[in-house]
A and B are shown apart, each in its own frame.
Chain A
Amino acid sequence: MSLSASAPGPCEIQAGEMSSSRAAKSSLLALNQQGELEDLPRDYPLSTSEDEGDSGGERKHQKLLEAISSLDGKNRRKLAERSEASPKVSEFSVNSEGSGEKLVLSDLLEPVKTSSSLAAVKKQLNRVKSKKTVELPLHREEIHREVAFNKTSQVLSKWDPVAQKNWQAEQLVFPLSKQQSIFPPIEHVVSGWKARTPLEQEIFNLLHKNKQPVTDPLLTPTEKASLKAMSLEEVKMRRAELQRARALQSYYEARARREKKIKSKKYHKLLKKGKAKQALKEFEKLRKVNPAAALEELEKLEKARMMERMSLKPQNSGKWAKSKAVMAKYDLEARQAMQEQLARNKELMQKIQVASESVEEEGGAEEEGEPFVPDVVNEVQVKADRPNPWMFRNHSGDTKEAEVQGDPEELAEPAAQEAPESEEEGPVVAEEILLKEFEERRSLRQKSGLNQIAKPVGSQEAKDLSSQEVLSELRALSQKLNRESHQSRKQELSSTRTVLAVQRGEPSGEEEEPLLLQRPQRARTLDELEELGKEGCFQNKELPRAAVEGQQLERNPSNHLGVPKEKKRKEQMTDLQNLLTTKSPSMKSLAVPTTVEELEDEERDQRQTIKEAFAGDDVIRDFLKEKREAVEASKPKDVDLTLPGWGEWGGVGLKPSAKKRRRFLIKGPEGPPRKDKNLPNVILKEKQNIHAVAHQVRMLPYPFTHHQQFERTIQAPIGSTWDPQRSFQKLTMPKVVTKPGHIIKPIKAEDVGYRSSSRSDLSVVQRNPK
């Protein structure tokens, strides 16, 4: 509310101004009473006590009015009205009740703004407005405490970074300050120590004899004496000399180093050549001057060379080779050089060995073969001295070359001979037994004329009987040998034979038999050479080969002969087949070298062993079954609501009619397609596993802000199974390490590099006691 509104007349303007100024005064007074205004002008008279006496009566009157107004039950809102009739009309007791407004200083000041005469007052008022309440003044002690506290806080806050660092440190090792192990100086130790063992005594005797310093390791008495003895000039000269010598030495050293560093081979070659030339020149000179000496020199050289040659073990025991071997670890070139040398050595060695072996073999053949093998055989053997004559022959089976080479039989027979021979080389004792057997048999056959191995004599039978017999005997022998060593062999051979026969599409000729018999044998002998005495392995190896041949049989649809046999075989094989991961079906011709097959055999062998190991459990079938069950379980079930006996007869043995059943069967809805529908090797389970849930973290733990963070920390393994040693150690480093038995002292300023307060606490206390 404003005063000007209540005083409208022009004559009253002055009065209005007056009143407003008074109001300002009163407000000022109020402020003064609060004790906040300090620079109030003194010239204004204080006149508040004017209407103090009446205020009591007026309050009573007001109360009465209130009581009356509340009589009618409702709290009537009092209107803001000015009781003009009141005898005491004053600006100070303006009734402001009920207006809900508060009197604000600015409202009072509004009319003052216009008059310029009150500028001083206005300024003062503004100053008052801007001031805030001030707290009670502090006591002296309080100030003292506050200052001290602030100072202490400041001192303490220097520890903030230290504490921070310690909290963040990956590892804290206590005690913080390393206790320096104080080693007493060596002199003290030595003086208190006596030489006891003879060695020590000897050493000390020597030292004492030479007057070496034992305790004070500075200068020997002689050195001291010499230092004293030398004059200044002498010393200077000597020093200069020494300096020069040192400079020269270092220069030569540097040069040598530089030269050594030159990598150019050409340079070195030239250098070497130059040296050689020089040597030659000298030698020439020597020859001219003193031929005898020169000759001697030459001899010496030659001898040295011979010695070198004799003692040369070119493999790796030579000086050069040794040096290279040391280098080989770090230097590729050295390694290559060494390899080259080794290769060369091998080459040399091989040549020699080959020669000797062939000699041996021949000798052996002569020794063993001569008693019962005709000359023809040997002849042919010499002829057929090729890597694998049988292969060759297979290739050119029907060509005219056969004729050129001679009788196929002639070729075949000695070859058949060769195999047992080469086998017989190893076990000599067994051979003797066999020979005995052979003799016996021979006599037997001559009597009965029985031919064990059915061998019809063909048109080419031009040879004499005896030789034929010998050959057949040999064959039998070889078979016997086979039978002894491995049983499955024979079966395989027969199968091979049939296969070959089928593939060729011609009746198995008698002359072929030894050949065919030979092929696998040959391979085996090679095997045997490789790993002598490891016969156990072979038995394993036979099986895969059988399998291979089975495959071959299977893949050969054009075969007509021996169908029942093959079928049987096929049945056996298919069982294995469906477990094997099939390779691309490549037809193998017989001409393929046996060794290659063997390599493949190894693989098959591996697979075979795995197959055998897991023969019992059919994983794939189990998996498929599991998947089928999972699919069934996930499908919505049909609901059958038929009630037996409802609307028809019911009882034991009576079923509700099909119609009824159809009617009351509620088909389950078609569920959504399974996610693993198109993934044959996968079962996707979409239901949550409650057993797993029990082990899972439900809430994101505190320091992490995102679940991915947390997952990443969990997924990074820390064990030594997954991490190398170093990182394992780093990852499992304990946060706090304490040394057992060491006292951990509180942290000190010196520990963290701060300067500790030099002043003692005590001295300060004593200076300002209370």
Chain B
Amino acid sequence: MKVKMLSRNPDSYVRETKLDLQRVPRNYDPTLHPFEVPREYVRALNATKLERVFAKPFLASLDGHRDGVSCLAKHPKSLATVLSGACDGEVRIWNLTKRKCIRMIQAHEGFVRGICTRFCGTSFFTVGDDKTVKQWKMDGPSYGEEEEPLHTILGKTVYTGIDHHWKEAVFATCGQQVDIWDEQRTSPICSMTWGFDSISSVKFNPIETFLLGSCASDRNIVLYDMRQATPLKKVILDMRTNTICWNPMEAFIFTAANEDYNLYTFDMRALDTPVMIHMDHVSAVLDVDYSPTGKDFVSASFDKSIRIFPVDRSRSREVYHTKRMQHVICVKWTSDSKYIMCGSDEMNIRLWKANASEKLGVLTSREKAATDYNQRLKEKFQHHPHIKRISRHRHLPKSIYSQIQEQRIMKEARRRKELNRIKHSKPGSVQRVSEKKKRVVAVVK
């Protein structure tokens, strides 16, 4: 008689060391695991719901300023340090981990218009309404010393913005014209003008560092080459651009925050049509900053909200707002691409998570695997109506909500009018102009 016995090879279940993972025998026979699509769909649906459940982006509010926060700057070497300038001329340096102000300086009389840090992180520059440019040490004064700027430059006109070169001891200011300064000199190396209106902001290109972009109140954006000391090109938009920001991963891409509630992403080489129009705000966009990964950017608006846009999408993926947050004047994405800071009218700096439902802190490998899998599932089933609806759903303040409705109606009306015009005129006599082309008034060489 043959006796059948169950026998297993110990190799299949005994670990070599106790630090090894337990071996879990799995049978991947597809007949044993049926209904893969419905099961994954349900998982995706659950993941989407959970994402909404855990979406709690607001982290902290840094209060202390005695007037609206007008500008923010990141520390180039330390993630925990943030600088902010207020409308009463006060500059504060914050520690984000402690969520406390570690230093405050009465830097200017009147507004602090712009603030920027030196690339090495040892000092920072401020410009204010008092027609001065001041350089400050990052560390506070030692005992017995007075709080004094390292250098002060007295200008003839008001400076409205400042930005520091990414590699060299050069900075640029803007006001009546764009000035480029050597840190060692009291007069600009060169100043560039094109037109006569006041320039509201100037930004260095982080990759090709000799490039500058500025935007003026006569609705134009001007690009400059610092090396040749010449402007390159000017593009005139429908409305005024408040500020621009360069993409830190693509040298030729920049995004302009416009008064017409939209943001325009341009390829510097082809200014006649924007690469993408980002629309979702319902009021003027005041500031924009790219994530250091170059995949998203955040915009601050007068409509008391900030929005996060993927670079290649025209609609935002996230909107942050709180009841107490007023008009957001400045916004920055931290250099580890995890957090967003925004300074607003009501004197607070708010710290947000860049990814609303992300779990902070160290994740175990299983948690990480689960989040990755969920993320992938959400991507895979993103077109399914239920999932789409849940993932798109956001609560909005009533003012923004009603404004959105109103603007939708307006937009629809405009579209209808255009269609009617085409319909009732001789074929070919009225040309349809694409939305992108419509926004660019002219490109001036």
Residues of chain A whose beta carbon lies under 8 Å from any beta carbon of chain B = 141-142, 144-146, 148-149, 151-153, 155-157, 159, 162-163, 166, 172, 174, 329, 526, 530, 595, 694-698, 701, 710, 713-715, 717-724, 728-729, 731-734, 736, 738-749, 760-762, 764-766, 768-770
Contact = CB atoms under 8 A, between A and B. Distances in A.
Interface string B156-197: 000000000111111000000000101000000111100000
Interface stretch (B127-135, B229-237, B299-307, B404-412): B229-237
B37 A717 contact: yes
Given A145-B232, A721-B39, A762-B182, 10 more contacts: A144-B228, A149-B445, A151-B228, A153-B269, A157-B269, A162-B250, A695-B384, A717-B37, A731-B376, A748-B207
Contact of A768 (B43, B169, B229, B385): B229
Contact of B250 (A159, A329, A715, A724): A159
Given A732-B375, A743-B79, A765-B189, A144 B337 contact: no
Contacts of A696: 384-385
Contact of B37 (A153, A694, A715): A715
Contacts of A697: 383-385
A722 B228 contact: no
Nearest to B267: A156
Contact of B338 (A738, A764, A766): A738
B170 A719 contact: no
Interface stretch (B56-64, B143-151, B208-216): B208-216
A255 B232 CA distance: 77
Rank and list the top 10 A-B pairs by shortest CB-CB distance, nearest first: A746-B206, A746-B248, A744-B292, A717-B36, A764-B227, A701-B383, A149-B232, A732-B372, A743-B335, A156-B252
Nearest to A329: B11
Interface of B is mostly: loop
Interface in B15-67: 26, 28, 30, 33, 36-37, 39-41, 43
Contacts of A742: 336
A560 B168 CA distance: 114
A151 B230 CA distance: 12
B226 interface: yes
Contacts of B325: none
A761 B168 contact: yes
14 contacts: A152-B211, A153-B269, A156-B208, A163-B250, A694-B385, A695-B384, A697-B385, A732-B369, A734-B375, A742-B336, A744-B292, A746-B249, A761-B168, A762-B182
Interface in B367-401: 369, 372-373, 375-377, 380-381, 383-386
Nearest to B228: A148
B6 interface: no
Contacts of A595: 1
Interface string B290-317: 0011110000000000000000000000
A741 B189 contact: no
B229 A718 contact: no
A714 B249 contact: no
Contacts, number: 194
Contact of A770 (B167, B191, B210, B211): B191
B3 interface: yes
Contacts of A768: 228-229
A166 B211 CA distance: 22
Contact of A765 (B26, B227, B248): B227
B230 A144 contact: yes
B268 interface: yes
B81 to A, nearest CB: 11
Contacts of B218: none
Contacts of A765: 170, 180, 189-190, 226-227, 229
B121 to A, nearest CB: 10
A239 to B, nearest CB: 47
B373 A732 contact: yes
Nearest to A769: B190
Nearest to B361: A740
Contacts of B206: 746
B226 A761 contact: yes
Contact of B386 (A144, A694, A715, A744): A694
Contacts of A172: 293
Central interface residue in A144, A174, A526, A768, by most chain B CB within 10 Å: A174
